[in-house]
Amino acid sequence: MVNEVSMLKPTTTNPAINPVLTEALTASVNSKTTSLLALLKSASRELSHITFANSFGAEDMVLSDIILKNKLAIEIFSLDTGRLPTETYDLIALVESHYQTKLNVYFPKNGTVEFYVKNNGINAFYESIELRKSCCFMRKVEPLQRALAGKNAWITGMRAAQATTRASLPTREFDDANQLEKFNPLSDWTEQEVWAYIRMHDVPYNKLHEQFYPSIGCAPCTRAIAMGEDVRAGRWWWEDPLNKECGLHVKN
């Protein structure tokens, strides 16, 4: 498994994160940014106690930049699964320094992780979908539930074009699983527009993106992708694409 992943890692910089900033692309990004900011301002006026789940991917960095630069009344939190790549930890530190802020970080419960590893093994998630989803639940879903406790709404960086599981992604929906409003303000953004915003506003980003990691999660469950592959192909790559969700965004 490790050898397979390492062989897929390219040695050149990913050209996808360096879009040509044409007049049309710049205008599109500016227009969508204006609409996004209006949506977030409206949401924060309508609903108190809104929080944003920042996983430090490119999309989440766009939202973090907009929220922090405009001093919106929206909390930002992150989930530290205990198995994140070093580059993600480096970005967490950089974000706090760059924006002069402190993030709320939630961790999995020690006892649950210890029980799982003792009974199933340190990398049991490779063995079955059930064990992988159990790992995702204890490291992501349960901490998310604690992060959302007492909140009226949460915001994600999901885009409709990211995966077949997200093809019909509304800008706003009711999250039945967590019983609160959910906003996906980047739903109609393209990958090119995300990176154009990052370049236009000099936003910090995860350096793994330069190594063909368009989607970044836990280190053991994320690999680089080949040119032409789906942007989510590197997440849980050993599974069927229809199963590629960790449980954070799965509807009841």
Q: Which of 135, 136, 218, 246 is catalytic?
A: 246
**Could you tell me the pLDDT band of residue 7, with boundaries at 50, 70 and 90?**
very low
- pLDDT for residue 89 is more than 60: yes
- pLDDT tens track for 174-213: 999 899 999 999 999 999 999 999 999 999 999 999 999 9
Q: Return the ∠ at Cα 89 (arms to 219 and 130), rounded to 5°.
A: 30
CB contact set of 206 (below 8 Å; sequence gap of 6+)? 56, 57, 58, 61, 85, 87, 88, 91, 213, 216
Question: Distance (Å, rounded) from C-alpha 209 to C-alpha 219?
Answer: 13
- Given a contact cutoff of 8 angstroms between Cβ atoms, the answer to whether 40 and 74 are in contact is yes
Active-site residue, 136 included: no
The three-class DSSP label of residue 173 is strand
Amino acid at 85: P
Model pTM score: 0.87
How many Cα atoms are found within 13 Å in the side-chain-facing hemisphere of 227? 8
Alpha helices in 70-109 (DSSP H): 86-98
- pLDDT tens track for 141-178: 999 999 999 999 999 999 988 755 445 799 999 999 89
Q: CA nearest 39: which of 66, 2, 65?
A: 66
**Could you tell me the pLDDT band of residue 249, with boundaries at 50, 70 and 90?**
very low
pLDDT at position 201 is 97
**Could you tell me the pLDDT band of residue 223, with boundaries at 50, 70 and 90?**
very high
- pLDDT for residue 107 is more than 70: yes
- pLDDT for residue 226 is more than 60: yes
CATH of span 2-240? 3.40.50.620
**Could you tell me the pLDDT band of residue 45, with boundaries at 50, 70 and 90?**
very high
Q: How many residues does the chain have?
A: 252
pLDDT at position 164 is 54
